[in-house]
Structure 1
Amino acid sequence: MTVRNKIFFFYKKEDSILEKTERLKALANSEGFEVVENEKEANIIASIGGDGSFLQAVRKTGFRDDCLYVGVSTLESEFYCDFHIDDQAGMMSAIKNEQIEVRKYPALSVNIDGQGSFYCLNECSLRSSIIRTLEIDVFIDDLYFETFRGDGMIISTPTGSTAYNKSVNGAVVDPMLACYQISELASLNNNHYRTLGSSFLLSDNRKMTLIIKHDNSHYPIIGMDNEAMSIRHCEKLSFELTDKRIKTVKLKDNSFWHKVRRSFL
């Protein structure tokens, strides 16, 4: 069994959380963990903040699948964060009494123009950079599926289904399903233009390719999780669910569906 005791804390250097984070570091040291200042030396990475901080922690540390990610929230309710920074005693009690478990979330791979792949834990979004529709040919595996015309598209993982995807009436997907979801942003559907008009799911064995038609479109803005990419001049994006799994520490009695009910119902 791999011993994980080297912990790196990822957080913004803000006065509101600095003091609490220092207390959390001292508590970790007193419980036998070694706090390291270089994330490459860590086998546990703890983000302090909210879901956005958790996504940034995963992205900035390279989507490592050889360590555990722990989300510690400074807010009330978050999807990726099972622990609250003000309940440090409860956090250690959960660890000591084996009230936690490791859950694995799939990462989405996005290849741009065949030049290299990027990973997403939540979603990749494509949006028009000006007030004009995008025109995109959609291929599933080698099958031409449709030509999309509209404001953009969202390609989300199951854990990302409750974020941007849900806001455009996409489905909420159980993270235990190995799939990813494609949702439209303001598609044109009339006698001249036609798309499926609804979100759809693809399995982890499917590959989707988007070809941007520049005769009628301008280059899109590409967002990955909560970060805008500097890439503008792209023509082809390929998506597939990878074998890479992000391991997160979760409370046993706080499942994904507990969070959905608490957040939306």
Structure 2
Amino acid sequence: MKYSYVGKMPDKIKTYLKEDIYAKENPEYVFSFGGDGTMLKAVEEYLHLADNVIFVGINTGKLGFYTDFVLEEFPELLEKLKTKKYKLNQYNMLCYKINGKEKIKGYALNDLVVISPIKTINIDVYLNKEYFETFRGTGLILSTPSGSTAYNKGLNGAVIEPSVLCYQLTEIASINNNAFKTLSSSLILKKETRCLLKGNYEDILIVADGKEIKVDNVLSVEAKLANKKIKLLVKDNHDFLHRVKKSFL
């Protein structure tokens, strides 16, 4: 078995893998030791191998929607990997394109955030090239179903089961009064819908899965749910709604 890992691997785990091959450049499995943030780093690092690699989350933190296993279960988990008797979930990613001084394309597993920490921004929202609304406020977040329990939930966005092929647009501190009106709720969009954000992007941050993307003179941001997926190993009894209940209720 060829493997790699992201995060801090305990010495005890290394003893279980002494007969296996550490293959940082071309692993079959990528172990993530930590929480969901560590898994996002693992996906970013091995995104170019997403079609061929399986991600395995080992939870060493408090909350993890991408980390089904704990350290004590590693021997049993290793046996599943070697016999290939395991359950996989596949999660669609968000694809985006930032148009500015340069054009940057990328993917996000959780979300893409367009935000101004300094002043109010105006963003014209287009859906499938048709004008929808002008948002005024702090920013907007585009999130996948698997990312709906992260930043999006803190903004009162909808929690969506990862098997549903959609994504959502959620407002961050919108301004609503007699002069300015926005939808003031999350907007759930089908997979094929393209979202285009145009605005006065002088002092904004664009953040994909918690990592800032530096682009000068941004003119617009485009996004939609991608065909690209990651494969994540989960427990046989994995249940998203049970995890939501356990985590938040």
TM-score w.r.t. the length of structure 2 is 0.92
1:185: how far off?
Answer: 0.6
Whether 1:135 aligns to 2:131 is no
Extract unaligned runs of 5+ from structure 2: none
The residue number in structure 2 matching 1:10 is 6
Secondary structure of 1:88's counterpart equals helix
Aligned to 1:123: 111
> 1:49, CA displacement in angstroms?
1.1
Q: 1:43 to 1:96 in 2, by over 3 A?
A: closer
**Correspondences of 1:215-234 after superposition (within 5 Å):** 218-234=202-218
Which SS does the other structure have where 1:160 is aligned?
coil
* 1:55 aligned to which of 28, 33, 40: 40
Task: List runs of 5+ in structure 1 lacking aligned partners.
Answer: 12-16
Query: Residues 99 and 251 from structure 1, CA distance in 2 versus in 1: closer, same or farther, beyond 3 angstroms?
Result: farther
Cα shift at 1:129: 3.6
> 2:96–2:221: 8 Å Cα contact kept in structure 1?
yes
Match of 2:61 in 1: 75
- Equivalent residues of 1:135, 1:149 under 8 A apart: yes
Task: Report deviation, 1:104.
Answer: 0.4
**Secondary structure of the structure 2 residue equivalent to 1:91:** helix
What is the distance in 1 between the residues matched to 2:54 and 2:2? 10
Alignment of 1:1-265 (within 5 A): 5-11=1-7, 17-18=8-9, 20=10, 22-30=11-19, 33-36=20-23, 38=24, 40-62=25-47, 64-92=50-78, 95=81, 100-113=86-99, 115-130=103-118, 132-213=119-200, 218-265=202-249
SS in 2 for 1:261: helix
Q: How big is the shift at 1:9?
A: 1.2
Number of positions where the alignment pairs a residue of Structure 1 with one of Structure 2? 246
Tell me the C-alpha RMSD between the 2 structures: 1.9
- Deviations 1:109-168 (CA, angstroms, capped at 9, x unpaired): 1100172311100001111041x1110000000210000000001100001100100001
CA contact (8 A) 2:35 2:62 kept: no
**Native 8 Å contact 1:219 1:232 kept in 2:** no
Amino acid in the other structure paired with 1:104:
Q
% identical aligned pairs? 34
Q: TM-score, normalised by structure 1?
A: 0.87
The offset of 1:258, in angstroms, is: 1.8
Task: Tell me the CA shift for residue 257 of structure 1.
Answer: 1.4
Q: Which residue identity does 1:237 align to in structure 2?
A: V
